[in-house]
Every structure is written in C-alpha cells, then in structure tokens.
Amino acid sequence: MITAGRVTVNGRVVRELGTRVDPQRDHVKVDSRHLKPVPPQVFLMLNKPKGYVSSLTDPVGRPTIADLLRGVRLRVFPVGRLDFDSEGLILLTNDGDIGQRLLHPRYEVSKTYLIKVKGVLTGEEIVSLECGVTLEDGVTSPASVRKIRKAPQNSWLEVTISEGRRHQVKRMLEAVGHSVLKLTRVRFGPLVLGQLLPGEYRYLTDREANALRGLAKAQPSSVRNGRGARPATVQQAHRPTRPSSSRAEQSRVFDRAQARPRAGSRGRGTSRSSTPWPRRKSRGSADPGKRRVAMGSSMASRSGLRPSHSVRNTQSSVLGVARRRTES
C-alpha cells in the first residue's frame, strides 16, 4: 500500500516504509481518504458539588458539570446522574460501551450513598429497606442499610443499591416515612470518592480503569444466578437430559454390568434367584470313564430314561464295537 503510492502525509506521497508520523499533527490520507486518529480511552472521577446539573448542557442555563472540566480536551460524558441538590462521585468517560454496561440493571453495579435523613429509623424500617419497598414503578431490589451516627432529630445512613431508578434513594426513604436532607455518593462500583474535594476531578489510575473494564466484561448477574435463562423452544424445555460421561466411565459401567447379572434375569449362567451355576471343570481334569458316565446321565435326563439303564446301554455298545474290531 505504501510502496504503491496510495498513502500521503501532509499532501506528499510517501513510499518509504517505516516513515514516522504524529497522528495529532500530521494529516494522513489513504486513497484520498483522511484517517482520523483513534482517541485514547479516558476515565475521569468528578466530585460534583450542589447546584450543578449532571449533564454537559442545560436548556435553562444552569451550571453544568462541563464547567468543572477545564483542561479536558477529549469529549467525555457522565455515566449516570445525580440530582441538582445532591453531590458526590460521578464517572465520566468517552467509551460508550463501558458506560452503557455500567448503567444496565442486569450487571447490578453497586452504588453507595451517605445520607442524612430526618428522624431516626427503626429496626422495622431498616428491614423494609433491605428487603425492598414498593414504589410507583415497582418493588425495589434488596438494599444494604447501615447506621453511621444519629442525632436527637436526624440520623446518618449508608445505603447501597444496585439499581438506577430516578430519585430512587429519596423515594425509598420517603416510602418508610423519612425525607432526605443531604445525599452524597461515595462509591460507584470499585471506585471510591476518597479525599477528592467538591468541584475537582482526577483521572483514574490504571488499576481503577482495569477494574472498570473487567466489571464491564463480566457476565451479567442475571445469567450468573440462573435468572432470565429461557429455553428456545418447548421441545427443548421438556427434553430429558442425559448425564455426560467419558468413554472410560462407560466402559467401567459395562464391565460391572457383565460381571454382576441383574436380579431376576434368566439368561445363560443365571437362575430365577439370580444365583449363577457353579463353573464346570476343565475337560482335561476329569477321568474319561467318568466323563462318559456323566455324558450318559445327561443324555438320559434329556430322553427321560433312568441313568443306570442309559449307562449300561452305552457300555454294552462300546464293548460290542471293540469285539468286532478284534475279530476282523
């Protein structure tokens, strides 16, 4: 491609292999088509203060979080939102796939909030929040609620949820009879707000960014827990499954079946009581005369004659044959 003269750098044809270019400054074309450099993946953590909208623009003209991102050249967007009067951690990135996966309810990314509520919650109210409360849009998923400290009229809670409904935490507490006075998000998945001051931002470390990538690539929680898996057809739903086994295991099962006959079978070597007949002795170990007697007895039992009569007739026929041979 290069040696054929199809590549131009800043309007000049380049035929030499290994020519270095700066994708941020140089203008590179292939077949008269401009090649745009792929922007690097960016992750930012912002501590949103009160009085800012969790978007890059606002039709009403209120302050937005874009006013706090001075010095960020690449275009980023917020992953999730916080209310106008709420504060805390907001993740911003330029990777749409990761942002969508982190917000999808199937992945159940946890979000932790430090909340100041009016009044003191009872044990029954905390259990209701942990088990799920009924809202206008359905029952909430189980939450984790922990008391931080309490005052005579107010109390501080740490609430962790894995959903992202609109004003969910406030509506959950209002459902049990307590209004929210202050709300701060202190954790989003593996990210912790830490000592970041309100209105400031920082780039994620390599470890934090890799943790987000691994969380986005992980299997959804609904699939891991066996929920949401449906058969493709009715026949597959009612089709019996057979346990899989290796050839060696099948061979061992077959050998055991051959060595131990089933009870009640009447095949060769078994009786009604599944007791095998005793093994016959080898033919070379028995005496010839006794073998002839045994053969005569078995023939007599089959023909219905007495064993003694059958043996006597067999012996007389053998002697007659011997006499004729000697006379001739």
Q: Which residues of 46-58 are buried (b: 16+ CB within 10 A; e: fewer)?
A: bbbbeebbbeeee
Whole-Å CA distances, 185 to 21, 50, 81, 113, 253: 44, 12, 10, 4, 60
Of the candidates 306, 9, 27, the residue with the CA atom closest to the CA atom of residue 18:
9
Q: How far apart are CA 28 and CA 14, in angstroms?
A: 10
Token digits for 284? 């070379």
Residue 303's identity, in one-letter code, is S
206 assigned to active site? no
Q: Which residue has the tokens 């400290």?
A: 149
Residue 281 identity (one-letter amino acid) = K
Among the options 22, 83, 137, 287, which is catalytic?
83
**Token reading at 310:** 């059958």
CA 61 from chain centre, in angstroms, equals 45
- What are the residues facing 91 on neighbouring strands? 45, 79
Nearest CA-CA partner of 145 in 131, 135, 134:
131
Q: What span, in angstroms and rounded, lies between the C-alpha atoms of 244 and 226?
A: 21
For the chain, give percent helix, strand, coil, nearest 5.
Answer: 30, 20, 45
Catalytic amino acids?
Answer: 83
